[in-house]
Every structure is written in C-alpha cells, then in structure tokens.
Chain A
Amino acid sequence: MATWKAQVRVWLKPSVFDPQGRAVEQALHSLGYTGVGEVRIGKYMELRLEAASEAEAAAQVRAMCDAVLVNPVMETYAFSLEPWAKDARAEASA
C-alpha cells in the first residue's frame, strides 16, 4: 500500500455563468490589465489517501469527486496525484 497526495481543482462548468469571475475580471480591467478575460473562480482541495497503485488512487479520487466533492450539475473538475512526501505538511507550513 502506498500513500498518495491528490490535488483536486473544481470550478463551474463553462455553461454556468460565474459572477465572481466576472467581478474579478472587472477589477483586473480597472487595474489596467485590459487584455484579461474568461476569469473563472474555483476551489482547490488536497487530500492524502492509501492505494496500491496510482490507477487505484485515481479511481478512488474520481469516485469521491462524483459522490461528494463535485456537483456535476454545476461543476467540473480535474486532479493530479503524486506520491505522498513524508514531510509534505512541514514543507507546506514552512
């Protein structure tokens, strides 16, 4: 059994209007970044899990996304996996 770190990104489906993204886009424009567009605000989640292989870890993450982390009616997601580094937490808070 290996330990994995999953990094999950969730954001509104392209078909769903994102008013937060729109507000941030307008703020960027007012700061002079006039070439910026299509701003979308999403969520980032990180979790540690046990799985024998990367494929099994990916299957677990996908199942968790479909069951609770993501609402497919409004959202879409992507994730990445990497072996869990023992001192990852210490690094993260450093």
Chain B
Amino acid sequence: MRWAVIVFPGSNCDDDAVAAITRATGDEVVKVWHQERDLRPYDAIVLPGGFSYGDYLRCGAIARFSPVMAAVRAEAEAGKLVLGICNGFQILTEAGLLPGALVRNHHLQFRCEMAELVVENDRSPFTSLYRRGERVRIPIAHGEGRYIADEAVLDELARAGRIAFTYAADVNGSARRIAGVLNERGNVLGLMPHPERAVAAWMGSEDGLRMFAAIHRAVEEGVHVG
C-alpha cells in the first residue's frame, strides 16, 4: 500500500510521520505538497503535526482552504483512512471532517511530555491492535489541544463509540478528557498526541507503532469502512 503525508507550509512533523510509517509498516510513503489536487493514488492519508500557516487566525483555519483539502474530503467520502495528528486534527475539525474544536489549554501552557492515554475504542481501523481499556504512552506537544464540543455532540460521540482515546490524567482541560475522535463512518481519526513520536524504545515508548500497523492491516485486508 501507499501512504500520503500531506505537507502544509508550517508542517513540522511530516518527516517524523514518514519515518514512523516506514518503521512500522515498510510501506511506500510519499510526502505530498498541499497544492496537490489528486489523492487517488494513495491508500491512506496522514495530516501531520506542526503549525500550518503559523496558526494564523486559528489553528488549522487557513490550511483548511489549501487545494489538497478538497481531495482529502473526497477520499474520506470514498472511505479511505485519514489520520490527523495534532495540527492535522485541528485542520480536520476546522474543515468539518471531525466535530468539535481545539482551543487553548486551560492552564495556558504549551505541554510537551509523555502522556498516558486510555484506549476507548479498539474496533476502528486505527485502533484494532490495541485493547479497549488498555493504557498506552504517546507523547503530547501542544498549546491548543483542549477539545470542546456542545454537550449533545459529546453525548453522541460517547454513545457511538467515536471517542477513540482519552487522557488518563487531565493534561489540557479537554471535555471528557478526549484525546482523539472518529468521524461517524469511522474512517477519519484525529488525535492531539503524536503516535509517530512513540515508535522506538529509545523514544520512551513504542505504543504508536500499532496505530500505523493497524492502518496497514485494515488497508491490506481490504476492510470496508462505513
């Protein structure tokens, strides 16, 4: 299978994502500039972390209008797997591909540290190699990662199993400690923690490997989502 890692002006975790995917899967990974309009040649799409467009106006607000985003939307609608990490998550919420929004952490600090997450859903193509209730260590690095949404939306996310990960401890004030959410169909995942930074023992954790391996497995086995 072939992965696309989208590069926006200001993305800075794109090389890390490529290295992590390569290490976890051995698959072909292509960095795709945000001016590209066709993502049909790719089987999975990653929107990496960083500070696209300098976080001007709001995090992800300008990147959402990049030409590539129409293609991301089209491939998501076609059922392909789309993973948004950190700034990628912010872009997906701004684009309306995921519900809610990410706002300034309640303590106003930029937190760059290892975080313990709780796997809330192990039945998605992104999380099938984890076990529900399992605690995994995946680092965070964000100043604006506090997830918010209307209560009705939060209730629906919880009811439908669309909360993929929560924080074991309250690291940023997120509603219901949400760290990652799925779209309704289950083929788009956004999360603030960085799985690409947890793929080797020397990084302090290898727990991120299984996310990329799970995506690989879902695509290779032709799991139909939705």
Contact = CB atoms under 8 A, between A and B. Distances in A.
B73 to A, nearest CB: 16
B108 A74 contact: no
Nearest to B149: A73
Contacts of B107: 19
B93 interface: yes
Interface string A1-33: 000000000001001110110010000000000
Given A16-B103, A19-B105, A20-B108, A71 B61 contact: yes
A19 B106 contact: yes
A69 interface: yes
Classify chain A's interface size: 10 to 19
B47 interface: no
Contacts of A74: 101, 103, 148
A68 interface: yes
B173 interface: yes
Contact of B93 (A17, A20, A69, A73): A73
Contacts of A68: 57, 61, 65
Interface string B6-46: 00000000000000000000000000000000000000000
Interface in A50-70: 68-69
A80 to B, nearest CB: 20
Interface in B137-174: 148-150, 173
A68 B149 CA distance: 18
Contact of A20 (B100, B104, B148, B150): B104
A23 B173 contact: no
**Interface-central residue, B106, B148, B150, by most chain A CB under 10 Å:** B148
Given A16-B148, A17-B173, A71 B106 contact: no
Interface in B163-219: 173
A17 B100 contact: no
A16 B148 CA distance: 8
Nearest to A18: B104
Given A16-B148, A17-B173, A71 B104 contact: no
Given A16-B148, A73-B149, 12 more contacts: A12-B103, A19-B104, A19-B105, A19-B106, A20-B108, A71-B58, A73-B93, A73-B99, A73-B100, A73-B101, A73-B150, A74-B101
Going nearest first, the 3 A-B pairs with the smallest beta carbon separation are A73-B101, A74-B101, A19-B108
Interface of B: 57-58, 61, 65, 93-94, 99-101, 103-108, 148-150, 173
25 contacts: A12-B103, A15-B150, A16-B103, A16-B148, A17-B106, A17-B173, A19-B104, A19-B106, A19-B173, A20-B104, A20-B108, A23-B108, A68-B57, A68-B61, A69-B57, A71-B58, A71-B61, A71-B94, A71-B101, A73-B93, A73-B99, A73-B101, A73-B148, A73-B150, A74-B103
